[in-house]
Amino acid sequence: MSGWFALVTDFCVFWLFVAAALCLYRIVVGPKAADRAVAFDTLSSVAIGMICLLCIRFSSTLYFDAVWILTLVGFLGSSAVAKYLAKGRVF
Amino acid sequence: MLESSSLLLPCVALPFLAAVVVGSGSGRIGRASGWIVFAAALASFLSLVPAAATHGIDRFSFPWLPAAGISFALRADGFGLLLAFIVSGIGALVALYSTAYVAEADPAKERRYYAALASFMGAMLGIALADDLILLFVFWEITSITSFLLIGYRYEDDDAKAGALMALQVTALGGLAMSVGFLLVAQVTGTFSISAITSDPALIAKLLASPLCPAALLLVLLGAFTKSAQFPFHFWLPRAMVAPTPVSAYLHAATMVKAGVFLLGRTYPMFGEAPLWAPTLVVVGTTSMLLGAYQAFREIDLKAILARTTASALGMITLLYGLGATTDDSLQILNHALYKGALFLVAGIVEHHAHTRRLDQLGGLRHALPIAFVACALGSLSMAGFPPLLGFVAKDNFYAALLHSEWLAGTPLLRTVVLLASLASSALLVATAGKLTFGVFSGAERAHAHGRRDEAHADEPRVPLWTAPAILAGGALLLGLASLGELTSDLVTATASAPEHRAHATLLPALGWPLFASLFALVLGVALYTRRDAVSALQKRLAGGPAASAMWEGAMAALARGGEAYSVRWQNGSLRWYLAATVLTLPALCVWAFSETGLSWRQISVTFADTPWYGFLFCTLLAVATIATVRARTRLAAAISTTTIGFLVAMLFVVYRSPDILLTQLLIETVSSIFVLLVLVFLPAFPARDMKPGTQLVNLGIAAAFGVTITILLLLTMTPGIREPSNIATRPGGLLSLALEQGGGKNAVNVIIVDIRAADTTGEITVLVVVGLAVYGLLRTRRRARQQRKGRGTRSEAA
Amino acid sequence: MTQHSPIIRVIARYAVPLSIVVAIRIFFQGHDEPGGGFIAGTLLAAAGAMYMLAFGVRRVSRFPWWRVAVVGLLVSVTTGTVPFLLGKPFMDNVILHLGTVHLPTATFFDLGVMMIVLGTLMTIFLELDLERR
Amino acid sequence: MLLELLAALAMLAGTFFMVVTGIGLVRFPDVYTRIHAAGKAGTVGVGLLIVAPMVYFGPTEPFVALRGFLAIVFQLLTTPGATYLLAHACYVTSYPAHARTEVDELQDWIPVYPDEEFGHE
């Protein structure tokens, strides 16, 4: 874990925060629910990225399972909202 | 374990066994249930004989709750045997009487009657022989319950229900108070066993000296007074007369009401010398004696008269206990049991025969019911206290005790009042006895109610009906005559509760003031009887004042109204109110806890050295997301931003290195967002216009209070000094190593959940299952109800 | 009921079995790495939700899910009381060495937890959905 | 050393895409364009960011590579699906496209639901 690599990781983590903040802006403002759903989906992708970087930063693979679950979760969340918007019911 | 192979246990257990047999029996037992109970009562009666024969005290004890020092102890001393004999003897007679009296179309109802009667008998035997305070209390409560069942036997009509309920409320209240009294006594003396306390003067001294003594005494007395229908609680007894007559005879004359007085006898050795004992008992006894006699004379209904006279006679016995006359208290109890039982059963025959109990509609039945007439005459004479009956001897002893008691001598004013009250009530009793006997049996045979003359003669009272009263009345006469010799005195001394010297119960008492007093009472009574119309006219004019039972019902109604008002005010169904209440309790509790334990937020000292910078960033994002949720205009927006909060919190778990919870949080967040979407249709739309500024401020306040409290709590847990050593997991005996050795797993979190603290998890998962079943059950029943309504709706439209 | 869009049905056909495999993987790695009954149960419930999202509720709603929860409770409680009956302290853990694998009995307790979580969540999903109809 | 270089490259590229998506989300006028931007992050951004730990932990913990690969495949499987569903939902509930859109090829293909009841909540 050489010095410059840690620096790069931190730099990337910071910029992921910026991306997350932008997504959050869309969630807060988003005129319609659909926008918020999209932002929510991107937020889950940003979260996956964040976890990967933090795995590297803490050099432990314990959190790697969360990546898998976040994918499933992100998909479920947005498709449920999409179906609700389209058909008014979820199942 | 069983100390002696005495017959005490079977004696108490037999009636309960009979109750079970009769209660659970199928149709074919039907008519025989009465005879089974009779046999059980007789068996108990006979099983007591060996215990009485052995002069030594017969004991039986079995460790029931060794941890609490409570044992199932029975002890047959003289006094206990007396009540036990009365209970089983009169029980047998009443069972016999009931076989003819209680003829029900539906055998199941009859079986329930006999089951309740048998279990009552068992409980009364338990009270008589119990040697353990808690055991006595248990049997006491059983009698209250079975009396409720028996009074409310004809539950179709409302008076029975009301009367039964009132009896239960009053006696249960007394029972409760008494149990607390017993606990206090046991607290001071350290033992529950009655014989141990009464036989050890040191314990008694300790009890009397302790500050708890007055409280314990009053509580126990409360139990006794409610059970024996003494002055403040006398109103339930007349109301309980709606019960079938054998029940009235058995419960409310011979046994149950005696339990209260019996308790006085049992607790006299303990509380006898207590300063409060004498005055309370004398005052209560005298008032209930006089009040009972006065109201008895005014009554018209046969059983009401008898109920009032019972209260009066019990008042007399309570007065005697107040004066400490425990050498011949058994004489009074025995005498009252005999004559009152006989009179009640006669009243039953009269009612059975003439279908009415009102004196003004009765008369001239001496030809129709000759034997009943004889029994009633003997009983009334014994009540009035005419020689040669036992009543005369009892009255004479009563006046002797009254005049010779040192305690009364100390207060001349009270002594005269008590004397006058006794004379008045004795006279009234004599007059009532006269009214009772002559009113019913002598005089012209008036047209009975409903004019069914022919049918009245048809049902000559069957044999079991008149045998019971005859035996009882005969007993009163025989014991009276026996007192010429020494038999009665021996019997009385043997069964008295604490005989100092040999009681002398003789039909020919020494000439002296007691004799003159009782003779004077007789003369006054006869005079009163001859002028009874004038007296009752006077009584009518004096009538007034609220009936005690009305006051009691008023109190109960007020209690119910109060409860309802409370629940309407606090459970008013507004979700906001419930939420606010729950949320506000935490800050309130914390404030109280902080003030108690001296903790305060100033002790928080948390360094931010070891928190990585991205922790802060996540927190800022979290704050923004929370504000988004609050400001959301539509339900879906709020739902999505809540899920976002969940995600950001999950990210914090990564920063603070806890993978297990991270996975759980993510999954739970998704599942709950799906739940929200499922029910979004039902949630009320967000209020189009904003809430009034006032409510917004209130909400803000509540939320702020909650938030601040949680922050302080968290920061306190973070300060090093307060929480446990930081290496709780990693130190040698810590959780990590523990998980590895015993749990066989490196992931301590999971091992803890599943193995080390598996008992807690079992609790939690049970809650989870219950939640699942609740949702399943509730929604399904609601849907079925709605479908039925819809089904009915469409049909009605179609129709 | 084919009005579910084909796209989601295709995705679900691959995603649901994959999720189930991962859930089982997480269940068994529970003792050493992060995982365990609770997480596996919720993951299975999520997979179930995805299935219902894609293929509708008809086939799933016939299965009595609340019984799964009750059986799960039975499994957990029996795992707890069996050592108790054998005289060992309540909920004691016995490590069975089946060949190379060492299987602590607590795993059955974990299995119970998983079944309970799965059963409860699915019951709530189905009931809430039926409620809307 | 090489691994760290590769991982760093992957991280930087992944983050670049994420930030681009973020900006896209904020600045694009209507939902359809935003969905287009979101598509990028969900697939390429995440893919690259997952590659980083796979590469970094590659030799020491092979299992990470397998799970990483599985995650990428699943991500590529699901994210386009999710974004499609959202777009479809918006279109059928006639979510207004931005004024400047000229061509609407789907007009005659996908029926637009008439009722407005649970549309743009």
Three-point CA angle A25, A26, A27, nearest 5°: 90
Number of domains composing chain B: 5
d(CA D86, CA B10): 82
CB within 8 Å: B655 and A90: no
* pLDDT confidence of residue C122: 92
D contact test, residue of C8, C21, C29, C53 with most D CBs within 10 A: C8
Cβ-based contacts of C90 with chain B (< 8 Å): 759
Full residue range of the structural domain in which residue D46 is found: 2-95
Identity of the residue numbered B543: A
Cis amide prior to C83 (ω within 30 degrees)? no
Indicate if B554 and B588 belong to the same structural domain.
Answer: no
Instruction: Give a yes or no: residue B676 inside a domain.
Output: yes
DSSP secondary structure code for residue B57 in this structure: P
For C6-23, the pLDDT digits (tens) are: 888 888 888 899 999 989
Phi, psi for B682 (deg, rounded to 5): -85, -20
Phi, psi for B76 (deg, rounded to 5): -105, 75
CB within 8 Å: D77 and C7: no
Instruction: Give a yes or no: residue D75 inside a domain.
Output: yes
Instruction: Give a yes or no: residue B722 inside a domain.
Output: yes
CB within 8 Å: A88 and D118: yes
Cβ-based contacts of D121 with chain B (< 8 Å): 634-637
Instruction: Give a yes or no: residue D39 inside a domain.
Output: yes
**C-alpha to C-alpha distances, B149 to B39, B109, B168, B169, B348, nearest whole angstrom:** 22, 11, 9, 13, 19
Instruction: Give a yes or no: residue B268 inside a domain.
Output: no
Shortest Cα distance, chain A CAs vs residue B621, angstroms: 7
* pLDDT confidence of residue C1: 38
Indicate if B281 and B345 belong to the same structural domain.
Answer: yes
Residue B706 pLDDT class (50, 70, 90 cuts): very high
User: What does the block give as tokens for B134?
Assistant: 């808690």
Whether C73 contacts chain D with CB within 8 A: no
d(CA B102, CA C30): 72
Q: Which residue of B has its CA nearest to A10?
A: B614
Residue B457 pLDDT class (50, 70, 90 cuts): very low
For B509-557, the pLDDT digits (tens) are: 677 777 787 788 888 888 887 877 777 777 777 766 667 777 888 888 8
d(CA B278, CA B324): 8
Q: Which residue of B has its CA nearest to A41?
A: B644
pLDDT mean over B784-790: 83
Cβ-based contacts of C106 with chain B (< 8 Å): 743, 751, 754-755, 758
For C79-94, the pLDDT digits (tens) are: 877 777 776 666 666 6
A-side interface with C, Cβ within 8 Å?
Answer: 62, 65, 68-69, 72-73, 75-76, 79-80, 83, 87, 89-91
Partner residue facing A33 (CB), from B625, B636, B657 = B636
Instruction: Give a yes or no: residue D76 inside a domain.
Output: yes
* Of B100 and C96, the one with more pLDDT: B100
- With contact defined as 3+ CB pairs under 8 Å, the chains touching B are A, C, D
Give the percent of chain C with pLDDT over 90.
25
Residue B453 pLDDT class (50, 70, 90 cuts): very low
Indicate if B617 and B525 belong to the same structural domain.
Answer: no
For D86-121, the pLDDT digits (tens) are: 888 888 777 777 777 777 777 666 666 655 444 444
Selected residues 625-664 of chain B with any CB under 8 Å from a CB in chain D? 634-637
Whether C24 contacts chain A with CB within 8 A: no
Closest-CA residue to B345 (of B491, B448, B475)? B475
Full residue range of the structural domain in which residue B732 is found: 575-749
Residue B14 has pLDDT above 60, yes or no: yes
User: What does the block give as tokens for B739?
Assistant: 């998980």
* Of B706 and B384, the one with more pLDDT: B706
Three-point CA angle D112, D118, D121, nearest 5°: 110
Indicate if B200 and B138 belong to the same structural domain.
Answer: yes
Instruction: Give a yes or no: residue D86 inside a domain.
Output: yes
Instruction: Give a yes or no: residue B266 inside a domain.
Output: no
Identity of the residue numbered B474: G
Number of domains composing chain D: 1
CB within 8 Å: B666 and A63: no
Instruction: Give a yes or no: residue D57 inside a domain.
Output: yes
Indicate if B49 and B120 belong to the same structural domain.
Answer: yes
Find where tokens 């006639």 sit: D94
* pLDDT confidence of residue A14: 93
Give the percent of chain B with pLDDT over 70.
88
CB within 8 Å: D35 and A20: no
Q: What is the pTM of this model?
A: 0.62
For B324-349, the pLDDT digits (tens) are: 777 777 788 888 888 888 888 888 88
Residue B668 has pLDDT above 80, yes or no: yes
Contact present, B59 and B4 (Cβ < 8 Å): yes
* pLDDT confidence of residue A49: 92
Instruction: Give a yes or no: residue D54 inside a domain.
Output: yes
Cβ-based contacts of A91 with chain C (< 8 Å): 49, 52-53, 56-57, 125, 129
* pLDDT confidence of residue B280: 86
Contact present, B374 and B473 (Cβ < 8 Å): yes
Closest-CA residue to B374 (of B418, B416, B437)? B437
Indicate if B175 and B302 belong to the same structural domain.
Answer: no
d(CA D41, CA D59): 28
For B560-590, the pLDDT digits (tens) are: 898 888 888 877 777 778 888 889 999 999 8
Query: Mean of the per-residue pLDDT values for chain B?
Result: 80
For C4, left (φ over 0), alpha (ψ -120 to 50), or beta? beta
d(CA B661, CA B654): 9
Closest-CA residue to B217 (of B262, B137, B278, B136)? B278
DSSP secondary structure code for residue B72 in this structure: E
Indicate if B447 and B509 belong to the same structural domain.
Answer: yes
CB within 8 Å: D74 and C7: no
Instruction: Give a yes or no: residue D114 inside a domain.
Output: no
Residue C43 has pLDDT above 90, yes or no: yes
For B707-719, the pLDDT digits (tens) are: 999 988 888 877 7
Considering B728, B749, B770, which residue would you say is the last residue of a domain? B749
Shortest Cα distance, chain C CAs vs residue D68, angstroms: 13
Instruction: Give a yes or no: residue B349 inside a domain.
Output: yes
Indicate if B730 and B586 belong to the same structural domain.
Answer: yes
CB within 8 Å: C53 and A80: yes
- With contact defined as 3+ CB pairs under 8 Å, the chains touching A are B, C, D
Residue B450 has pLDDT above 60, yes or no: no
Identity of the residue numbered C3: Q
d(CA A56, CA A63): 10
Query: Mean of the per-residue pLDDT values for chain C?
Result: 82
Residue B655 has pLDDT above 90, yes or no: no
Closest-CA residue to B254 (of B72, B495, B84, B99)? B84
Instruction: Give a yes or no: residue B271 inside a domain.
Output: no
DSSP secondary structure code for residue C89 in this structure: P
Instruction: Give a yes or no: residue B438 inside a domain.
Output: yes
Instruction: Give a yes or no: residue D80 inside a domain.
Output: yes
Instruction: Give a yes or no: residue B269 inside a domain.
Output: no
CB within 8 Å: B751 and C31: yes
Residue C41 has pLDDT above 90, yes or no: yes
Indicate if B398 and B494 belong to the same structural domain.
Answer: yes
Cβ-based contacts of A90 with chain C (< 8 Å): 53, 129
Phi, psi for B74 (deg, rounded to 5): -115, 145
B contact test, residue of A9, A59, A70, A83 with most B CBs within 10 A: A70
d(CA B299, CA B311): 14
Residue C45 pLDDT class (50, 70, 90 cuts): very high
Considering B249, B284, B310, which residue would you say is the last residue of a domain? B249
CB within 8 Å: B674 and A80: yes
Count of C-beta atoms within a 10 Å radius of residue B382: 32
d(CA B56, CA B52): 9
Contact present, B631 and B618 (Cβ < 8 Å): no
